[in-house]
């Protein structure tokens, strides 16, 4: 599955946002055109990849957001939209009319929610309106950017708005060379404890928590891994990319935190597999230099067996930027 950015503009200013630099550098009218959307759809279809995610910035800011979704659905794609849930009145009405009745098999939202205590009232109202209309299509997402996070409000959202009984947990990653808020490596075990502390209530409420990429396995002790394993019915992954992101200007990169590194033109590739292979090879080369975010990753048997990828590659890149340029040159491009 590839991620397609409809726009670089956003409605929020999340402290952990690893797309901040990208958005700051973009033009307001830098939005995906129809012709480029068709090109991307053709590329996906010819690569036999019939699922894609629309994101941003805030994808619903794109004036043709609903049209694009309808178009992609008509072309038999499964469409997933990453959104803040904060839509303009006009867009909300349009989306509700056109999309609320679409089957969850074909269409879904991941609504990345922030703690209500830290959100302005108008934002909250927007999010609630969104969840009320689209809750049946929506998985809540949460980006952890400090170890003492709180998921209680999400549980409430799930119950109140009938969201999918699944929480998509992401870990805020550093943008190499930039300043954003993220969980430092030495605080990850604390974060892990906090995650595990929620498992009992999640199980009581029959809600699953799943990990996005970038979580290293060894921040959890053996007992915690066992609990997570049971919680996820044996499906546990500590992977790291590459996630293919396609920008509105038809550039492509290997994942958002690394969006300034090794950016290529989409037209250089003939298929999605080619893109994935390209970045996989590149990331592998980086991992050859630095296996993972901990020193122990170098000798870790679970990393060698690919049970864990050694955490987010962005941490490794951050590592390189602080040292002299002694490694192979592609790392620094």
SS3 108: strand
Planar angle of CA 128, 130, 134, nearest 5 degrees: 120
DSSP, residue by residue, 238-304: B---PPEEE-TTSEEES-GGGTTSS-EEGGG-SSHHHHHHHHHHHHHHHHHH--SSSGGGGG-HHHH
281 counts as binding other proteins under rule CB under 8 A: no
CB of 126 vs other proteins, minimal distance in Å: 23
Using CB under 8 A, which of 4, 23, 41, 202 touches other proteins?
41
Q: Judged by CB under 8 A, does residue 250 bind other proteins?
A: no
Assigned token pair, 238: 């500590």
Residue 249 found at the interface with other proteins (CB under 8 A)? no
**Is 101 an interacting residue with respect to other proteins (CB under 8 A)?**
no
Strand 107-112 relative to strand 138-144, pairing: parallel
DSSP strand pairing (78-83 vs 166-171): unpaired
As a whole number of angstroms, the distance between CA 290 and CA 193 comes to: 26
Using rule CB under 8 A, residue 268 touches other proteins: no
| 40 touches other proteins by CB under 8 A | no
> Binding of other proteins at residue 74 (CB under 8 A)?
yes
Distance between CA atoms of residues 183 and 223, nearest Å = 22
Measured in whole angstroms, the distance separating CA 211 from the mean position of its chain's CA atoms is: 10
Binding other proteins by CB under 8 A: which of 11, 50, 91, 98?
Answer: 98
Contacting residues for 319 by C-beta, under 8 A, at least 6 apart: 290
Among 30, 45, 224, 249, which residue sits at the site for other proteins (rule: CB under 8 A)?
Answer: 45
For residue 174, give the DSSP letter.
P
Structural tokens at position 241: 């990319």
Task: Report helix, strand and coil shares of the chain as percent, to nearest 5.
Answer: 45, 15, 40
- For other proteins, the binding residue among 15, 50, 63, 64 (CB under 8 A) is 64
Tell me, by CB under 8 A, how many residues bind other proteins. Answer: 17
Instruction: Kindly tell me which residue out of 24, 28, 29, 35 binds other proteins, with binding defined by CB under 8 A.
Output: 35
* Of 34-42, 214-222, 279-287, 306-314: span binding other proteins (CB under 8 A): 34-42
Helix (H) or strand (E) holding 209: strand 208-211
| Among the listed residues 12, 20, 49, 67, the single contact to other proteins using CB under 8 A | 67
With contacts defined by CB under 8 A, name the span among 62-70, 85-93, 159-167, 276-284 that binds other proteins: 62-70
Please, are residues 66 and 98 in contact by the beta-carbon 8 Å criterion? yes
Quick check: 91 binds other proteins (CB under 8 A)?
A: no
294 binds other proteins (CB under 8 A): no
- Name the one range near other proteins by CB under 8 A: 61-69, 114-122, 179-187, 211-219: 61-69
Among 27, 46, 226, 267, binds other proteins (CB under 8 A): 46
Please identify, among the stretches 64-72, 82-90, 122-130, 175-183, the one whose residues bind other proteins according to the rule CB under 8 A.
64-72
| Structural contact between residues 126 and 170, judged by C-beta atoms closer than 8 angstroms | no
Which of 7, 139 has the CB closer to other proteins? 7
We find the least distance from the C-beta atom of residue 97 to other proteins, in angstroms, to be 8
Q: Using CB under 8 A as the criterion, which residues of the chain lie in contact with other proteins when the complex forms?
A: 33-35, 38, 41-43, 45-46, 64, 66-67, 70-71, 74-75, 98
């Amino acid at each position: 599955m590839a991620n397609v950015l409809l726009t670089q503009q956003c409605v929020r200013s999340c402290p952990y946002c690893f797309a901040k630099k990208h958005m700051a550098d973009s033009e307001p009218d830098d939005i995906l055109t129809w012709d480029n959307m068709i090109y991307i759809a053709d590329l996906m279809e010819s690569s036999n990849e019939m699922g894609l995610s629309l994101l941003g910035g805030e994808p619903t800011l794109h004036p043709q957001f609903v049209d694009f979704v309808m178009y992609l659905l008509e072309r038999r794609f499964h469409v997933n939209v990453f959104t803040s849930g904060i839509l303009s009145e006009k867009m909300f009405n349009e989306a509700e009319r056109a999309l609320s009745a679409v089957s969850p098999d074909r269409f879904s939202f991941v609504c990345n929610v922030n703690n209500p205590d830290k959100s302005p009232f108008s934002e909250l109202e927007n999010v609630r309106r969104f969840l009320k209309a689209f809750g049946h299509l929506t998985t809540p997402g949460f980006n952890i950017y400090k170890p003492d996070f709180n998921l209680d409000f999400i549980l409430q959202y799930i119950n109140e708005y009938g969201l999918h009984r699944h929480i998509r947990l992401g870990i805020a990653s550093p943008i190499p060379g930039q300043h954003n808020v993220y969980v430092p490596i030495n605080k990850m075990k604390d974060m892990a404890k906090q995650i595990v502390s929620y498992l009992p209530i999640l199980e009581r409420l029959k809600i699953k928590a799943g990990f996005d990429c970038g979580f290293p396995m060894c921040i959890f002790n053996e007992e915690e891994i066992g609990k997570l394993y049971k919680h996820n019915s044996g499906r546990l992954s500590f992977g790291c990319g590459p996630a293919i992101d396609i920008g509105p200007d038809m550039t492509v990169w290997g994942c958002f935190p690394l969006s300034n590194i090794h950016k290529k033109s989409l037209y250089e590739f003939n298929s999605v597999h080619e893109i994935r292979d390209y970045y996989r090879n590149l990331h592998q080369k980086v991992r050859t230099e630095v296996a993972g975010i901990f020193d122990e990753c170098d000798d870790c048997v679970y990393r060698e067996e690919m049970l864990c990828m050694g955490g987010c590659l962005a941490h490794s890149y951050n590592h390189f930027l602080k040292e002299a340029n002694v490694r192979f040159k592609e790392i620094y491009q």
